[in-house]
Structure 1
Amino acid sequence: MDTEMDFYQNLRNKMKNWLLSEEGKKTEWADYLMLAPDLFHLLCKLAIDPDVPTADKAKLGAAVVYFIFPVDLIPEALVGPLGYADDIAVAAWVLNTLLNRIDQEIILKHWAGEVPILELIQNIVAQGDKMIGSGLWEKIKRRFS
């Protein structure tokens, strides 16, 4: 999965550099945005895990494509790294639905981030409408349910 690692590394570098900029330092969502690469990595790992049911792999795959696709609800090309807020919301929503269907240990074994993933998912889901706006949040929930 060299493409996955290339995207992961590029995204991590982009986020790190942006969060050090004046604009990046001002965003209230900086902590979540820095986790975008780790969430992407988790989606990829779960999508190929044999313990994840096929129907759930389809949702995970759709979330991975959403991350990579340049034109989404908040396009990164137009708003910069802040545009990953909707990608993070998609990841959290898909992971939250997955938590209700599979053993959480499957998710935990693939999480490379430093913050507790289960708590992170719950926090993002709880703040989704504030983070990206209630209209977009409802679209994401409908599209990825």
Structure 2
Amino acid sequence: METKFKDFYDILVENLESFNGEYASFIDYGPQLFKLLSDLLGYEGLKSQLKLKISAAIAYYVVPMDVIPETVYGAYGYIDDIFITTYVIRLLADVYGYKFLENYWEGEDDLEDVVELCYERSKDVLREKTTDVLNYVGLI
């Protein structure tokens, strides 16, 4: 019998597909933002320092006990993941521009609008914990 393994993106989609909580307006973008970073790692011209930052953000998604763990807080535990993802995407946009990043974006909404919404909303929720999140993976 052949076992079909799920991609982590599929697991994120599954975890969040029925979420209708207070922060659903931006938490729902989590899987698409994760996929964007994952797909960007395949860009051969990506600067090594940015690859490390992308890798740190991707790793943050899969660490079970991060600053706000999903195993404890459910879907709300993705708020810190979304923060670090959008933090890194904004760094990438500063270097490559959103027009370039859109080549890797599979979402239907405007990438820059999504990133800014998710960044600002997650930052508002996390407040001083944003520093904890960035310290966790060594981005500051």
TM range (shorter): 0.7 to 0.9
- Whole-Å Cα distance in 2 between the matches of residues 121 and 136 of structure 1? 19
The Cα of 1:141 is off from its aligned counterpart by: 4.6
Aligned counterpart, 2:9? 8
SS state at 2:11 partner:
helix
Higher relative CO (Cα under 8 Å, sequence separation at least 6) belongs to 2
What stretches of structure 2 of length at least 5 have no aligned partner? none
Aligned to 1:136: 129
Query: Is residue 48–residue 57 contact of structure 1 (8 Å, CA) maintained in 2?
Result: no
CA distance in 2, matches of 1:135, 1:103: 28
1:55-93 residue CA offsets vs partner (Å, 9 max, x unmatched): 101100110000111111100010111100100000000
Same amino acid, percent of matched pairs: 24
- Which sections of structure 1, spanning at least 5 residues, go unmatched? 20-24
Q: Please report how far the alpha carbon of residue 53 of structure 1 lies from its aligned counterpart in structure 2 after TM superposition.
A: 1.1
Structure 2 counterparts to residues 33-112 of structure 1, below 5 A: 33-112=27-106
Kindly indicate whether residue 111 of structure 2 is the aligned counterpart of residue 117 of structure 1: yes
Residue 11 (structure 1) shift: 1.1
Indicate conservation of the 8 Å contact 1:8/1:37, yes or no. Answer: yes
Which has the larger helix fraction?
1
For 1:141 and 1:96, the matched residues in 2 are separated by 14
Question: Number of matched residues?
Answer: 135
Runs of 4+ off more than 2 Å: 103-106, 123-129, 138-145
TM-score (norm 1): 0.83
